[in-house]
């Protein structure tokens, strides 16, 4: 069994740690990438933040 992932979450000016299962963490990651897909990716961002259709790194030969 995979241990829970600790995620920092800002709540009323404080940062609290929330424990997520691996599945919950992956769903959160996918939803955040989808929600932020229209925003420019900052330097060093994970590959999922780049437009999957337009990013030349994603094209197969």
What's the whole-model pTM score? 0.55
Classified as helix, coil or strand, 28 is helix
> In angstroms, what CA-CA distances link 12 with 5, 9, 15, 40, 59?
22, 10, 8, 27, 42
Q: Could you tell me the two tokens for 58?
A: 């994603």
Helix (H) or strand (E) holding 24: helix 22-35
How confident is the model over 14-48, as pLDDT tens digits?
Answer: 999 999 998 898 888 888 877 877 777 677 766 66
CA distance linking residue 4 with residue 10, whole number of Å: 19
Distance CA 37, CA 7 (A): 21
What integer pLDDT is reported at residue 26 of this predicted model?
Answer: 86
Q: Which one is predicted more confidently, 61 or 39?
A: 39
């Amino acid at each position: 069994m995979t241990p829970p992932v600790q995620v920092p979450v800002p709540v009323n000016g404080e940062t609290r740690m929330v424990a997520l299962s691996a599945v919950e963490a992956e769903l959160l990651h996918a939803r955040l990438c989808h929600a932020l897909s229209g925003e420019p990716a900052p330097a060093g961002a994970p590959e999922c933040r780049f437009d999957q259709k337009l990013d030349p790194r994603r094209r197969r030969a």
